[in-house]
Amino acid sequence: MRVLVTGANGFVGTALTTRLIGEGRYAVVGTVRKASAKLPASVMRVEVGPLGPETDWQSAIRQVDTVVHVAARVHMMSDTISNPLAEYRRVNVAGTATLARQAASAGVKRFVFLSSVKVNGESGCYTEADTPAPEDAYGISKHEAEMALREIAKDTGMEVVIIRPPLVYGPGVRANFLALMRAVSRGIPLPLGAVDNRRSFVALSNLVDFIVTCIEHPAVANETLLLSDGEDLSTTDLIRRLARAMGRPARLLAVPPSVLIAGAALLGQRDIAQRLLGTLQVDISKARQLAQWEPPTTVDEGLRLTVAAL
């Protein structure tokens, strides 16, 4: 089977192509944007340039059975462009639709799309049956891309599988999760010792395992699936487990969350406070039942692997 992985040199794409090569039964095509991007020698490399509605995917999708679309304009805490939503729509909506239409025309049988729990919202306990309520430009663009893909599937018969993960951690993780790990590693006291929230996460190895399952599993065709490690953590517990994985003490101060929220508001950091103090859980019952899937990596093992690569 020939599988195309877009964004094959990225955080998820690198782990996914490595896993597919290791399976020994997939011919892997990997797309990159720049000539300088590196891929394993056994991956058929195709440079496509910037992602958008004008991208030509023809050389990448030739004789491909399944497309796994990982490439995207990712969520940014501090966006510097004047109209972020327009740019997210150009790349994540119009660019995804262009790829899907070209894939369907080329005879691709299945299109696996890496979406985001942000389609559901920013706080709460979610299932696939919940009405989408994205709050930021990134979440809106992923929701609109999902809707475009469902229309293309209806018009062409190409199967579409949509995966909505929460925050993904693993070797090579960046942004806020990396900043938190560095703070724990340096022994910086953190005022998060009294946070009693619950958040779902997914280890990179679990996400990759589920994507591989979705490449061929017949029961997930044209389904939307939430994903996580199957064990939700409070922010306090996450920090303690990170510290344990590092062999360091967790330096936590038990500051009331109400005080932290007030301080974050004064500093204009409400979004960061929401991610640290709020609850966001996903129910993965559907993934378990339809795909007969269980997360192969535990939270503690996933954190250990992440810390080892720090």
Alpha helix stretches (DSSP H) within 80-174: 84-88, 95-105, 137-156
In the chain, domain spans = 2-164, 175-197+233-277
Residue 148 corresponds to which tokens in the numbers above?
A: 């475009």
Cα angle vertex 203, ends 234, 196, to 5°?
A: 5
Predicted local distance difference test score (pLDDT) of residue 78: 55
Active site residue 88: no
What is the DSSP code string of 149-209? HHHHHHHH--EEEEEE--EEESTT--HHHHHHHHHHHTT--BS-TT----B-EEEHHHHHH
Predicted local distance difference test score (pLDDT) of residue 279: 95
Walking along the chain (310 residues) 10 residues at a time, the average pLDDT comes out as: 95 96 94 88 90 94 96 72 89 97 97 98 96 95 98 97 97 92 95 95 98 97 97 97 95 91 78 85 97 97 94
Domain 2-164: which CATH class? alpha beta
Predicted TM-score (pTM) of the model is 0.94
Point out which residues pair with 162 in neighbouring strands. 113, 224
Whether 113 and 212 have beta carbons less than 8 Å apart is answered as no
Predicted local distance difference test score (pLDDT) of residue 79: 60
Predicted local distance difference test score (pLDDT) of residue 75: 62
Specify the length of the chain in residues. 310
Predicted local distance difference test score (pLDDT) of residue 284: 98
Catalytic residue among 88, 126, 138, 169: 138
